[in-house]
Structure 1
Amino acid sequence: MAKQRARDDEAVRITTAAVSPDEDLRKRQKRYLVSMTIRSACFVGAGVAGLAGLTWLWPVLIVGALVLPYIAVVLANAQATRIDDFQLRDGAFGAPELEARR
């Protein structure tokens, strides 16, 4: 019970708060869309490279197009977390700042 109370008394700073779920979802969707656009460009580029006779380029683009979905899904599922290493100073928060007059 004492550990629970100590954890509840800790200050929460706004700089360590996570982004809103809607904003996080928008960012993940944007990363996924960019990855899938690059994948589509790899497929088109592989076709163009194959027709142009660049036998070394089209297999590289096909491999890129096959690997990008995995990377896109991993990036889309990675939720944003905000953690910083800033530590609040230890101090006597209940102690008065100024000494009382005598």
Structure 2
Amino acid sequence: MGKRGEVFRITGARSSLSEDVRGRQRRYVISMLVRTLCVLLAVVLWDVQRYLAFAALAGGVLLPYFAVLIANAGRERAPGLPSTFAVPADTPLMLGPGGTGGGGDRGAA
């Protein structure tokens, strides 16, 4: 059986900056394509169905604002990672001699 070229994300690390920028650009281009379709639809429907033409024109006017908001939404947060790590009070924070806990307690040997 040959290896498959799958890569699994095992950490909560964010996506790379280049992936983030590429995703933002893709969302913006898609939004602008929808805007262009709205304007074209408004032109085509102007003499046929005036209310739909106005609705399409409103979409064409308002969509750039929302496209910029969506594109500049910011990088996602790392999924599922706590902001701080809680350490129980009874846990020693450093190892003592011989790998025992307590920073100096040698224990009863």
Q: TM-score range by the shorter chain?
A: 0.5 to 0.7
Q: Which amino acid aligns with 2:55?
A: V
Bigger Rg, which one: 2
TM-score normalised over the length of structure 1: 0.68
Count, aligned residues: 86
2:55 aligns with 60
Cα separation, 1, equivalents of 2:65 and 2:19 = 23
User: Which runs of 5 or more structure 2 residues have no equivalent in the other structure?
Assistant: 1-10, 102-106
Deviation at 1:57, TM superposition (A): 0.3
Alignment correspondent of 1:38: 34
**In 2, Cα distance between the equivalents of 1:60 and 1:76?**
23
Structure 2 partner of 1:74: 69
Deviations along 1:63-92, whole A, 9 cap, x unmatched? 110001111111112222214364745242
* Structure 1, gaps ≥5 residues long: 1-13
Distance in 2 between the 1:101 and 1:88 partners? 31
TM-score, normalization: structure 2? 0.64
Question: For structure 1, which segment, 42-51 or 20-29, has the greater mean C-alpha deviation from structure 2 after superposition?
Answer: 42-51
CA distance 1:85–1:20, shift in 2 (3 Å):
closer
Structure 2 residue identity aligned to 1:36: M
What value does the CA root-mean-square deviation take over the aligned residues?
2.5
Q: Distance in 2 between matches of 1:26 and 1:74?
A: 16
